Amino acid sequence: MNAAELRRVLPALRPTDTASEPLDVIFIDGLQAQTVIGIHQNELHQPQPVRVDIAAGIPRSLACRTDRIGDTLDYGELRTALLELLATHKVQLLEALAEEMARIALEDFGAHWVRVVLAKPAKFEDVASVGVAIERRREARPREPASVLTLIASGLVPARAQEKT
């Protein structure tokens, strides 16, 4: 199944749960690699082809204004991390591998939302591909209050320097 066919079957490349702030979606479409994955005897030792589509949402990328790669999610670096994972992982199920890909995008690359589609295009002769699609969101973390606000809230006010008289 190519990317156009996949888009007809799956929802659009955008988060299903709309967040309060807009997301820019960085994507890699059709990354092809070889990896050892599967539960059947004929899959346990020989690499087989897989295809990865990944979309990662980040809140309104600063790179839109600065035009600097350091201000966004670098899809070249994400691609490298995915290829490294495909070469070194020890999991058997596509679901577990897709979960690890999502974790990388969320934790290592700062994405707030991610969709991973991981497919085996050559699993069966009579099927274009089999696979899994997952979506994950970064866990909401409580914001740490500013230290001065914490002091004020606790009844303490930072001392002012004594004025000279």
CATH code for the domain of 56: 3.30.1130.10
If you average pLDDT over residues 46-62, what whole number do you get?
93
Residue 72 lies in a domain: yes
Which residue reads 């190519």 in tokens? 2
Range of the domain at 14: 3-140
Written as one letter, the residue type at 22 is P
Q: What is the pLDDT of residue 146?
A: 52
> Is the pLDDT assigned to residue 23 strictly greater than 90?
no
121 in a structural domain: yes
C-alpha distance from residue 75 to each of 7, 62, 87, 120, 129 (Å):
20, 15, 18, 22, 24
| The total number of residues written for the chain in this structure | 165
At residue 18, the pLDDT reads 45
Residue 121: what are its φ and ψ, rounded to 5°?
-75, -15
